[in-house]
């Protein structure tokens, strides 16, 4: 158990809908990362937050957005969902967001878009 929690574990929805994925970092960690993992693309970095502020951006679509709240939990919002958005979404956390730090991954949210 990494100490990172994610809810929900599974999510099934329809195309065109909007969903919110939630992540709580390990106690004491200030930085949160979001990743998408699909069978053909592997693990793709989406976005990083540090203490409420966006720090780095990866391959995140405009239909996706995220934020980190004052209590340090984070939410990833996915809108206008498409079939291709079906994937495993991981949240990870690290102490201060330095690139060389170990990232601890949560158990993931499996999203299925029908």
52 binds another protein (CB under 8 A): no
Q: Which stretch binds another protein (CB under 8 A): 22-30, 51-59, 65-73, 77-85?
A: 51-59
Other residues' Cβ atoms within 10 Å of the Cβ of residue 28:
10
Strands (E) in 1-114, as ranges, are: 5-7, 10-13, 19-24, 31-38, 42-50, 53-57, 64-68, 74-78, 87-94, 104-105, 109-113
| Interface pick for another protein out of 72, 106, 109, 113 (rule CB under 8 A) | 106
44 binds another protein (CB under 8 A): yes
| Interface pick for another protein out of 45, 67, 73, 75 (rule CB under 8 A) | 45
How far is the first Cα of the chain from the last one, in angstroms, to the nearest whole number? 31
Residues lying near another protein in the complex (CB under 8 A) are found at: 2, 4, 33, 35, 41-45, 48, 55-58, 90, 97-100, 102-108
């Amino acid at each position: 158990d990494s100490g990172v929690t994610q809810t929900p574990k599974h999510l099934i929805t329809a195309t065109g809908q909007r969903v919110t994925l939630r992540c709580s970092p390990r106690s004491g960690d200030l930085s949160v990362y979001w990743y998408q993992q699909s069978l053909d693309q592997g693990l793709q970095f989406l976005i990083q937050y540090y203490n409420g502020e966006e720090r780095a951006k990866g391959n995140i679509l405009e239909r996706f957005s995220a934020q980190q709240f004052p209590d340090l939990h984070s939410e990833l919002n996915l809108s206008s969902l498409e079939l291709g958005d079906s994937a495993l979404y991981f949240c990870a956390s690290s102490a201060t967001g330095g690139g060389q730090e170990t990232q601890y991954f949560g158990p993931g949210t499996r999203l299925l878009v029908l």
